[in-house]
């Protein structure tokens, strides 16, 4: 166990803390639900969309450090929830959460965090914590909130040290839906809410849910698809029995190699059947694994709404070299050096050169590492939904 003798003295008003596995204790003011949760600490650079971030299943078992200092100031509302299943376990912010000021707000962010079982920690030097993650990697930690300010620090350190971490962990089984669902929600408009899907004479997309955000399905509907969502462990025969025109592979949390134990054989069978495929984030990684590539754990990951990605390779025509600003959330990546000859790299990150897109030659199968549905984030990549659905029939 780490030596706690160097732990900084607890401030009198500290009602929360972040305890890293190396014994570092970061004090602050707790908000949200009382208690403690363990996870990997990451940082997100988005300036908007904190509610969408906190309800993204891709953040399961993670504690999000927001680099933007003012989090919670527009409150929370039921329309901005991306999933009802597990998302981030907690968040770390710079400024105290203030009363909301926005006409769409239904309740304050702190109250929303409490009702959704998530722990928050404010008053933290998030720049210093972000720099630490950039230099040393994403640490395992426990975030805790106790209004009386009483914490068993040695026990919290031990818990952080004993947690196995995300590598080797299949989290898709924790966040996928349990039963098949015919998706009925359309796109959102201010003052109108979410439209209802029109299923008449539409190409049928079966979406495999590894921990999907709802806005993915809304964008598939907007692009002209009828969408059926199925659990992560749905078999090849069960998918084909639904008579899809194409199959979508969703985002999700955890180690892709672990989820691939059951997902990759299904995707290989879909490739052999010449089924059109489109994967994003974890789904992109699953497609790459099925095609023969490997994935690796990243030092700090990519999380935010300002990530530049460039189109590369053949097939882009006049748009080759175009740069898209994208929304990202991933701690694992496809190792571009392991891509087999029959797989083409189509997108690369301009931050670190990592793989951000592939296409399987001779197949209607492609994937991107980023989140083209945004929520939050820019809308540069909506064309991918149109590309996928427009090619079905």
- What does each of the 393 residues of the chain score in pLDDT, given as a tens digit? 344 445 789 999 999 999 999 999 999 999 999 999 999 999 999 999 999 999 999 999 999 999 999 999 999 999 999 999 999 999 999 999 999 999 999 999 999 999 999 999 999 999 999 999 999 999 999 999 999 999 999 999 999 999 999 999 999 999 999 999 999 988 888 888 888 888 788 999 999 999 999 999 999 999 999 999 999 999 999 999 999 999 999 999 999 999 999 999 999 999 999 999 999 999 999 999 999 999 999 999 999 999 999 999 888 888 999 999 999 999 999 999 999 999 999 999 999 999 999 999 999 999 999 999 999 999 999 999 999 999 997
Which of 302, 307, 330, 371 is catalytic? The answer is 371
Which of 281, 302, 307, 347 is catalytic? The answer is 281
Give phi and psi for 236, each to the nearest 5: -60, -45
CB 81 within 8 A of CB 113: no
Is residue 342 annotated as a catalytic residue, yes or no? no
Pick from 127, 64, 132, 122: which is nearest to 94 by CA? 122
Is residue 95 annotated as a catalytic residue, yes or no? no
What is the topology classification, in CATH, of domain 16-162? Glucose Oxidase; domain 1 (3.50.30)
Number of CB atoms found within 10 A of residue 314's CB? 10
pTM of the predicted structure, to 2 decimals: 0.96
Residue with tokens 């927001």: 66
Is residue 284 annotated as a catalytic residue, yes or no? no
Spell out where the chain has E strands: 16-20, 25-32, 35-44, 62-66, 90-92, 119-122, 140-145, 181-182, 185-189, 193-196, 204-209, 226-231, 246-249, 277-280, 295-311, 323-334, 343-349, 355-360, 365-368
Report long-range pairs for 314-321 (Cβ below 8 Å, ≥24 apart): 314/344, 315/344, 315/346, 315/359, 316/346
- Nearest-angstrom CA–CA distance, 163 and 38: 7
Domains 16-162 and 172-390 share a fold: no
- Nearest-angstrom CA–CA distance, 143 and 41: 9
How is the beta sheet containing 343-349 ordered, strand by strand? 181-182, 226-231, 204-209, 246-249, 277-280, 365-368, 355-360, 343-349, 295-311, 323-334
- Domain residue ranges of the chain, discontinuous segments joined by +: 16-162, 172-390
CATH number assigned to the domain covering 172-390: 3.40.50.880
- Nearest-angstrom CA–CA distance, 16 and 29: 5
CB 138 within 8 A of CB 20: no
């Amino acid at each position: 166990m780490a030596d706690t003798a160097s732990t900084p003295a607890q401030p009198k008003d500290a009602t929360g803390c972040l305890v890293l596995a190396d014994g570092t204790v970061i004090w602050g003011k707790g908000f949200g639900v009382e208690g403690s949760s363990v996870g990997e600490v990451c940082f997100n650079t988005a300036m908007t969309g904190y509610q969408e971030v906190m309800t993204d299943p891709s953040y399961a078992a993670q504690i999000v450090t927001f680099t933007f200092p003012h989090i919670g100031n527009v409150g929370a509302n039921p329309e901005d929830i991306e999933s009802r299943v597990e998302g981030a376990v907690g968040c770390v912010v710079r400024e105290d959460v203030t009363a909301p000021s926005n006409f769409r707000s239904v309740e304050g962010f702190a109250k929303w965090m409490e009702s959704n079982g998530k722990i928050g920690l404010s008053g933290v030097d998030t720049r210093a914590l972000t720099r630490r993650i950039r230099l040393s990697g994403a640490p395992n930690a426990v975030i805790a909130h106790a209004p009386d300010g009483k914490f068993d620090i040695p026990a919290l350190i031990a818990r952080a040290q004993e947690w196995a971490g995300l590598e080797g962990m299949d989290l898709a089984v924790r966040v996928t839906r349990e039963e098949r669902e015919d998706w009925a929600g359309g796109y959102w408009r201010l003052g109108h809410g979410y439209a209802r899907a029109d299923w008449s004479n539409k190409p049928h997309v079966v979406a495999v849910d590894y921990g999907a955000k709802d806005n993915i399905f809304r964008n598939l509907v907007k692009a002209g698809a009828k969408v059926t969502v199925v659990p992560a462990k749905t078999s090849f025969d069960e998918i084909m029995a639904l008579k899809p025109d194409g199959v979508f592979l969703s985002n999700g949390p955890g180690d892709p190699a672990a989820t691939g134990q059951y997902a990759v054989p299904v995707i290989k069978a879909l490739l052999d059947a010449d089924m059109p495929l489109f994967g994003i984030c974890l789904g992109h990684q699953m497609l790459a694994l099925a095609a023969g590539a490997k994935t690796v754990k990243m030092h700090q990951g990519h999380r935010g709404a300002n990530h530049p990605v460039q189109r590369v390779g053949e097939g882009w025509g006049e748009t080759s070299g175009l740069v898209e600003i994208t929304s990202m959330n991933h701690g694992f990546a496809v190792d571009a050096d392991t891509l087999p000859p029959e797989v083409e790299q189509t997108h690369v990150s301009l931050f670190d050169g990592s793989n951000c897109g592939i296409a399987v030659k001779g197949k209607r199968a492609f994937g991107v590492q980023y989140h083209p549905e945004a929520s939050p984030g820019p809308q540069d990549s909506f064309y991918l939904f149109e590309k996928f659905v427009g090619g079905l029939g």
